[in-house]
Chain A
Amino acid sequence: MKKRIMAIVLCVITALLVIACGDKKNTGPEHSNPQVLTEAGVYPIIKDDYKGQIRLKIMGANNAAIDPDWGDNKFFKRMETLTGVGFNFDVFGDDMYTEKKGLTLSTNKNLPDIFFKANFNNYDEVTYGGKTIRPLNGLIDGYAPNIKKILDENPLIKKCITTTDGNIYSLPTVYLNLPDNTENVMRDFLWINQSWLTQLNLKMPQTTGEFLAVLRAFKAKCTANNAYPLAIAGLDHLLRIFNFFGLDMYQYWVQGKDGGGIEFGPTTDKFRTALEFLRTLQKEGLINPNWSSFTAAEMSANGGSGDNVYGCFMTAAPQYVVGFTRMTQYVTIDPLTCPGVNDKSFWSAQLPVQRGCFSITATCKYPEVAIRWIDSLYDLGGEYCLWAVIGKQGEEWKWNANGTWESTVPSSEYSAVMKKTIIQPGDGMPFAVDEEFWGKQSTPEDLFTRPERNKQMTHGWVGYPMVYFNKDDLKKMSDLAADIGSYITDFIAKSMSTEGHIGGKWDDFKKFNRLRLDEYIGILQKSYNDFYS
């Protein structure tokens, strides 16, 4: 008995020791940097002598369903063949990545060479920039002609990614060649059921009053129990309705005023009018009562269920909501106005940049190689920036004779093939998106939605720019913005669902000062001025 137990204990301990000793890293030989690179614009970017000797460790966030295995992904393999740079991967799902990123940046342990799809925020960049994260300005000037060109031609983009100490610590997704030379992007628009409009003999609404009348008429069409005149998926969509009343609620609840300065939306009468409008929608059952928890997946499951269930909804493209067969019933509505309150027709939009997608760490031995490598994804003349999104020309897609392009992967296999070919580009891919190229797609659904989207893009307006806060301001802002934000969203939800008049509650609500609103607006005003100075 004694021997047997001792034996078991010893076995366990030995097994653990064996596992513990299994993991040893090997690092390649070190070379002085620029010497390994070829001439600018030449591929591969590594001289033949050093081929196969340079590997970069990548850390990033993937999506288990779309790009499960980066090591086995054609994008990285093609990039390796093209550039001569190899990779090791430390890839995690979104949620896990956030933990890992924080731990590795703050402890300086297990740092990668580069962060790809980095999801860096203001905090990460001002806290670790210059410490664990390398400033990129010099590298861009010296080794990244494509990025340099984009930044030189688009000072606005450069401003968006330059932190308060004047350095650039991360590279963004940039959207270029936007329709009608707009300088903003947005994803979701308001789509309306054109066939219901025709059947009910209604004209396209232009004001909030007309819109309300249309929704009331749509109510008669909503006979199925899961049908709604207006379907809203989450707070972001609800806040777009405030646009009709002249408020951009996209960032920090503030927007620039004509003639300089910023305006805090929630204390204005416009906000109150908008709130009354939303209350009416909720009270009369014109929107889905579960709007705050309604997800895109639910909206899509419901929309594809067989019945004609939506009068209006918000999305980037209607096929995502009602499926391919019914998408053509829907058209976009231009942003509405509210006579007497707001006569400006706009959608809240963002500047054409998504920040924090790519960074190089201080421990990276080959920063020049890394920046040169990523620079190829910002080359609009080259094809490489498409490899991560739709694959390689001739293999996954082709040009048509009429100047359009189409995917050559059969739609039944599309997701299975793409899983091994592309990196989910939706969120935070470090590359340049050429909107002109996307405009030449020739699928029927794209030919249908693209003009609608382009039309709406021209209504985009950026109420508050993409600013960086410095360390001190950020510290204050993180408390202030959280308090003020939840105070406002609570009030919106509460006042939509409660009966009776809004009057007294509104006066109460406006007492923002106990939440240190002055300090909040002060910081936002300063950053706004700095951005546009």
Chain B
Amino acid sequence: MHNAVAKNNGRSLNAGCPHLKRSKRKRMSRPDKIFTIVNYSFLILMLGVFIYPLVFVFSASITKPSEVLYGKMWLIPTSLYFDGYVAIFKYKDIWTGYLNSVIIVVLGTLLSLAVTFMAGYALSRKDFYAKKFLMWIFTFTMFFGGGLIPTYLLISESLNMYDSVVSLIIPSAVSVWNIILIRTYFISSLPQDLLEAAKIDGCDNIRFFIMVAIPLAVPIIAVITLYNVVGRWNSYFDALIFLSDPAKYPLQLVIRNLLTQNQINSLDPNVGILELESMMKVEGMKYGVIIVSTLPMLVIYPFVQKYFIKGIMVGSLKG
């Protein structure tokens, strides 16, 4: 009897919430259990791998540089030290660099969006005759580039853009890769019927592009904007080659200059103390600078992340 009640109880419990029982049994099955454990340990490991550098850099930025240097600090700050940030806030070049970077990113992205969207849309139209030829020319530049010295000559001699911020904006405005993404997007998501319907209503091409195609392309606009902003924010090489006035340097170049030139290993007997002091000062600023320069991107990412994933899908499925 007792047994029966117990059995019954058990049964009625099961009957009460069948899906719970089923899902519970499924999760608990042996291979699943192993899979879940392995899965979670792997994910936690990956999380650790990705988060560790971030935490380390942050901790290092507020720990005494000497303790970071000889490895006393490895995750949690062993002491509190804010002189690094004070030095960064006093370092004028970082802030002019910030401003320059913002200007370059905003102007460059706007221009890039304008030209790549126009090109991408045009190339997506079936009734555009030179389409194949133009596409071929565009693609050609993906395989063959002029090389460093010819590019330098082109910028400084033919285009006369040397030491001007324009050299960071115009030559890099067109990204063939983005044109292909946009073209693919329009081909797959912009029905031909829409164009025909609009034409019947008396809409011309420019109006159709601006009033119909662009509003329908919001996700891809977000993606291309993000690509551009991140790419331009992080780039330094064009600036290194084409600029010479420090007042025009973007942030990444300022930081790079600061971090790469303090690698003296054999100190001068007469002025070594100055060299050493400057090295220690840079060591103190190093991690704080990384935080300060990546902060804008860290702030932007969560908001546009969903578009970013979408953009990758556009490329992978339909490209």
Contacts and interface: CB of A to CB of B under 8 A. Distances in A.
Given A12-B107, A110-B156, A96 B271 contact: no
Contacts, number: 176
Nearest to A97: B261
A65 B107 contact: no
B218 to A, nearest CB: 14
B257 A93 contact: yes
Given A12-B107, A315-B267, A297 B211 contact: no
A462 B221 CA distance: 65
Contacts of A96: 240, 253, 256-257
A128 to B, nearest CB: 14
Interface string A52-82: 0000000000011110100000000000000
B256 A95 contact: yes
Which range contains the number of B residues in contact with the other chain? 35 or more
Contact of A425 (B152, B163, B268): B268
Interface of B: 65-67, 69-71, 93, 107, 110-111, 114, 148-149, 152-153, 156-157, 160-166, 169-170, 206-207, 210-211, 214, 240-241, 244, 246, 253, 256-258, 260-283
Contact of A12 (B114, B271, B272, B280): B114
B262 A107 contact: no
B269 A305 contact: no
A341 to B, nearest CB: 27
A302 B280 CA distance: 12
A505 interface: no
B238 to A, nearest CB: 12
A20 B265 contact: no
Interface in A176-203: 187-188
A92 B254 CA distance: 11
Contacts of A187: 266-269
Interface string A5-20: 1001100110110011
A302 B283 CA distance: 13
A427 B271 contact: no
Contacts of B111: 12-13, 16
A68 B258 CA distance: 10
B269 A107 contact: no
A389 B164 contact: no
B165 A19 contact: yes
A259 to B, nearest CB: 32
B260 A320 contact: no
Contacts of A297: 69, 262, 276, 279-280, 283
Contact of B265 (A9, A109, A236): A236
B270 A425 contact: yes
Nearest to B280: A297
Most chain B C-beta atoms within 10 Å of own C-beta, residue among A64, A106, A226, A433: A64
Nearest to A106: B149
A269 interface: no
Contacts of B107: 12, 15-16
A301 B72 CA distance: 11
A96 to B, nearest CB: 5
Interface string A429-442: 00001000010000
A22 B167 CA distance: 13
